[in-house]
C-alpha cells in the first residue's frame, strides 16, 4: 500500500509549496527497482540514488505571490504523481483529504483498466479514499507547456491562432521541473561515478532555471501569462521520465489547478497509435486526468512531425526560439534530435530561416549523403524516419545512390557493431 497524507502549504524564502507526506515501504521500492532496472537503458540505475525511504515529502513549488493557485483542497496532484509507480509495483493507493470525483471515475473506469494488462506489464490497483464533485474555483486560464520543442511550439501556435474561440484561446505558458531535466546522459554519468548526486541534481536545476527564463521571454513575446512549477517528484521516480511524463507533468498542472480551466498537453507520439506499457511512452491519455473544473486535452495527436515543423516555420518566434536538443541549453547540431530536425528543415527548404535556432550546423553538413542512411536503416522501426521517408517519396525527392548502396550493408554493420558491443538497434 502507498499512503498519501492530507496536502498542506508551506511558505519559505519567497516560495510557496504544496506538500504531502508519501509513505512507501522499502520492499515496494525493491519491486520498482526490479521491474524498471530490468530495462537495458536503466540497468544499474539505482546506483545513482538512495532507495528505501519509508516516508518522504513530495512537493510542488511556485513563487510566493502565486500561493493562491496551489490546490490543497484536493489530493489530485499527489494521486496522479504516484499512479505510475503504483501500477508498476501493483500497490494500492490510499489517500487522505478528497479526490475530485471526475478524476476518481476516469482513473478507475478508464485509465487503470486500459493500461493494466499482460501486454503492458502494469498491474491493476485500487484507489482508496473520499471523493467530492464540487468544482474548484479557478482563474480560468488556458495553459500549455513551453519546452520550446516541436510539439510544444506547434500546440502554442495552434491555440494562439486568430480563429481560436475565446473560451479555448491559449493565455498561459508553463515550465515544470518534474523529471525531464534529469536526462539519460547525466544518469549514465551518475551511474558510472563520473558525476556526484549533488552535481546531477544541480545540473537539472540549472537547466530548469534556464528554461524558466526562456519561457518568460517567449510568454512576453506572445502576450501570455507564465507560471513555473518546481517539484521533487524525481525523488520518487529517480531518473525514469519518458515512460511517465504525462503523469508527472499532469500532476504539476493539478497542483496549480486553481489557475486553469483548460490545459493542452502536446502529443509527442506516433499519429493514431496508442502506446501503453512499462517499456513505452505510456502517457498519451492525459484526458483521463480531467476534473470537474479542469479539462485536459491531448493536442495535435494526429499531426506528423514534418507538418508540425512546417507550421512552426510560419511564426517568427518559432523560427528564432526552437530548441530540440535534450543535452544542451542551445541546439548542439550534433545529437539525434538536432540531426533529425535539421534534416526535415532541409527537406522542406526552411533551414536558412532557422539560423538563430541552429547557429552551428557544421556537424550536420559534414554528414553529406550519410544523413540519408539513417532514414533507410530505420524507416521500418522508427516512425520519425518512416515519416521522413514517406515525405521524400511523396514529394518525389531523390536519395543518393551511394546512400542506398551503403544501406544494403546494414546486416554486416549490425554484426560488426554486435561484436564491438555498441549496436543500438
Q: Which residues contact 368 (CB under 8 A, 6 or more apart)?
A: none
The pLDDT of residue 140 is 95
Question: In terms of residue numbers, what domain contains 11?
Answer: 2-299
Residues 46 and 188 in one domain: yes
Helix (H, G, I), strand (E, B) or coil at 136: coil
Number of domains in the chain: 2
> Cell numbers 523560427 correspond to what residue?
319
- Whether residues 285 and 359 fall in one domain: no
Q: Evaluate whether residue 314 is within a structural domain.
A: no
User: Would you say residue 387 lies in a domain?
Assistant: yes
Give yes or no: residues 97 and 173 share one domain.
Answer: yes
Instruction: Report the distance separating Cα 42 and Cα 195, nearest Å.
Output: 17
My answer on whether 398 and 329 are in the same domain is: yes
Q: How many whole angstroms separate alpha carbon 126 and alpha carbon 108?
A: 8
Do the domain assignments include residue 205? yes
Residue 157 belongs to a domain: yes
User: Among candidates 371, 300, 381, 305, which has minimal Cα distance to 333?
Assistant: 371
Domain ends where: 246, 266, 299?
Answer: 299
State whether 340 and 398 are in the same domain: yes
Give every residue of the chain whose pLDDT is below 50, as ranges. 271-282
Residue 305 lies in a domain: no
| The pLDDT value given to residue 270 | 56
User: 290 and 330, same structural domain?
Assistant: no
Q: Within this chain, do residues 245 and 353 fall inside the same structural domain, yes or no?
A: no
- The confidence score (pLDDT) of residue 50 equals 59
The model carries a pTM of: 0.91
Q: Residue 282's pLDDT is what?
A: 47
Is residue 328 a part of any domain in this protein? yes
- Let me know whether 380 and 281 are in one domain: no
* Cell 507533468, located at residue: 249
How confident is the model at residue 184, as a pLDDT? 67
Residue 101 neighbours by CB distance under 10 Å: 15
Looking at the fold, whether 28 and 118 belong to one and the same domain comes out as: yes
CA distance 97 to 232: 21
Angle at 216 between CA 284 and CA 338, to 5 degrees: 55
**CB burial of residue 220 (10 Å; 0-12, 13-18, 19+):** exposed
Domain presence at residue 319 = no
Q: Are residues 109 and 159 in the same domain?
A: yes
DSSP code, position 328:
S
Of 280, 270, 299, nearest to 387 by C-alpha is: 270
In angstroms, rounded to a whole number, what is the distance separating the alpha carbons of residues 98 and 128? 10
Looking at the fold, whether 19 and 134 belong to one and the same domain comes out as yes
Amino acid at each position: 500500500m502507498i499512503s498519501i497524507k492530507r496536502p498542506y502549504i508551506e511558505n519559505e524564502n519567497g516560495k510557496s509549496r504544496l506538500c504531502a507526506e508519501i509513505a512507501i515501504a522499502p520492499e515496494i521500492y525493491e519491486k520498482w527497482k526490479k521491474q524498471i532496472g530490468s530495462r537495458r537503458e536503466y540497468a544499474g540505475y539505482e546506483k545513482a540514488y538512495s532507495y528505501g525511504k519509508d516516508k518522504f515529502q513530495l512537493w510542488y513549488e511556485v513563487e510566493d505571490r502565486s500561493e493562491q493557485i496551489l490546490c490543497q483542497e484536493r489530493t489530485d496532484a499527489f494521486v496522479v504523481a504516484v499512479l505510475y509507480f503504483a501500477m508498476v509495483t501493483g500497490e494500492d493507493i490510499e489517500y487522505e483529504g478528497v479526490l475530485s470525483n471526475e478524476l476518481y471515475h476516469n482513473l478507475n473506469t478508464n485509465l487503470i483498466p486500459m493500461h493494466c494488462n499482460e501486454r503492458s506489464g502494469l498491474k491493476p490497483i485500487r484507489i482508496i479514499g473520499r471523493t467530492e464533485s464540487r468544482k474548484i474555483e479557478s482563474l480560468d486560464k488556458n495553459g500549455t507547456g513551453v519546452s520550446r520543442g516541436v510539439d510544444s511550439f506547434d500546440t502554442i501556435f495552434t491555440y494562439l491562432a486568430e480563429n481560436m474561440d475565446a473560451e479555448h484561446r491559449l493565455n498561459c505558458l508553463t515550465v515544470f521541473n518534474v523529471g525531464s531535466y534529469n536526462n539519460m546522459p547525466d544518469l549514465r554519468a551518475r551511474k558510472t561515478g563520473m558525476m556526484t548526486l549533488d552535481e546531477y541534481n544541480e545540473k537539472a536545476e540549472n537547466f530548469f532555471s534556464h528554461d524558466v527564463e526562456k519561457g518568460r521571454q517567449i510568454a512576453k513575446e506572445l502576450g501570455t501569462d507564465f507560471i513555473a512549477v518546481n517539484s521533487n517528484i524525481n525523488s520518487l521516480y529517480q531518473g525514469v521520465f519518458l515512460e511517465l511524463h504525462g503523469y508527472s507533468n499532469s500532476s504539476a498542472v493539478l497542483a496549480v489547478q486553481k489557475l486553469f480551466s483548460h490545459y493542452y498537453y502536446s502529443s509527442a507520439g506516433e499519429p493514431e497509435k496508442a502506446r501503453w506499457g512499462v517499456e513505452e511512452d505510456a502517457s498519451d491519455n492525459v484526458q483521463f486526468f480531467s476534473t470537474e473544473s479542469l479539462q485536459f486535452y491531448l493536442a495535435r495527436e494526429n499531426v506528423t512531425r514534418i507538418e508540425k515543423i512546417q507550421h512552426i516555420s510560419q511564426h517568427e518566434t518559432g523560427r528564432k526560439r526552437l530548441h530540440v536538443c535534450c543535452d544542451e541549453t542551445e541546439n548542439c547540431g550534433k545529437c539525434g534530435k538536432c540531426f533529425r530536425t535539421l534534416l526535415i528543415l532541409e527537406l522542406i527548404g526552411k533551414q536558412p530561416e532557422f539560423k538563430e535556432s541552429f547557429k552551428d550546423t557544421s556537424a550536420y553538413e559534414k554528414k553529406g549523403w550519410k544523413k540519408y542512411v539513417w532514414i533507410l536503416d530505420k524507416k521500418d522501426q522508427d516512425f520519425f524516419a518512416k515519416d521522413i521517408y514517406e515525405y521524400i517519396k511523396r514529394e518525389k525527392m531523390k536519395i543518393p545512390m551511394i546512400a542506398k548502396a551503403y544501406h544494403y550493408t546494414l546486416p554486416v554493420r549490425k554484426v560488426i557493431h554486435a561484436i564491438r558491443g555498441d549496436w543500438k538497434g
